[in-house]
Amino acid sequence: MLDQLDQMQVSTVVPFLPSLLEHPDFREGLRDGQQISQEGMCSEDHEKAWTEDDIIQFIGEELSEKTYRREQRIDQVVEQPSLSYLHHLGFVISYLNQALAARVR
């Protein structure tokens, strides 16, 4: 996926995406989401038939402020640096993309 994005001229993507795709945290999140998917973690997401309601629920839960703040608190407890919200956003988008692509194959 990232190789395709690297080859694609950013200017041809929807006007708001170039800034996101150029942001290092967002790109790292995209890579991490792809890696987690390819390593087979959460493989049940790759086997299920995603409905619109499933996607709405997934995005709503994963990108909520509550979930993000909880993860920040966990990072503090285990003394790990917190990842930015843009990283989290990239990860969720990439992960969902991989899950949906697995169903197409």
What integer pLDDT is reported at residue 28 of this predicted model?
95
Average pLDDT, consecutive stretches of 10 residues, N- to C-terminus, the chain (105 residues): 51 66 93 83 69 92 94 95 94 88 66
What integer pLDDT is reported at residue 20 of this predicted model?
86
Q: Which 3-state string (H, E, C) describes 20-76?
A: HHHCHHHHHHHHHHHHHHHCCCCCHHHHCCCCHHHHHHHHHHHCCHHHHHHHHHHHH
Q: By the 8 A CB rule, do 8 and 15 touch?
A: no
What integer pLDDT is reported at residue 87 of this predicted model?
95
What integer pLDDT is reported at residue 9 of this predicted model?
47
